[in-house]
Amino acid sequence: MPIDKPICVNDDYQHTMVVSDDRQQVTFKHVTPIDGPNGKVQEYTYKVLYEEGDSVTLYLEGETRKHSNGDRAIWVLILERPDFYRWRIYGTPAEWRNTVVGKRCKE
């Protein structure tokens, strides 16, 4: 979702992020199901590989997508400001970001 679209007025992608007590997992819980790589999902969990500065490197549990070399996809969530984050896939240049944005809409 491009950053200039009205994210907070659209329920399609609204979600919460729940971090496990041991900080080893992050679960995204969507208000309404969204398209996932294997069909519709409402909740999915990432394993935290490591944290560094304003980013967290994660592996999506049950991920079936792979790189052309067979490696599983590893994701980096980058907190760009206190109110929004973006993603990049591990192994791409550090300055690269995709257009999928998570934005804090309200408490």
pLDDT in tens, the chain (107 residues): 344 455 666 666 788 889 999 999 999 898 888 887 778 889 999 999 999 999 999 999 888 888 888 888 899 999 988 888 899 988 888 888 887 778 777 75
pLDDT for res 3: 44
pLDDT for res 7: 61
Q: Residue 2 to residues 5, 23, 50: CA-CA distances in angstroms?
A: 6, 29, 27
Which pTM was predicted?
A: 0.79
Task: For the beta carbon of residue 101, count every other beta carbon within 10 angstroms.
Answer: 18
pLDDT for res 2: 42
Q: Specify which residues 11 forms β-bridges with.
A: none
> Quick one: which of 72, 54, 76 has its CA closest to 63?
72
pLDDT for res 107: 55
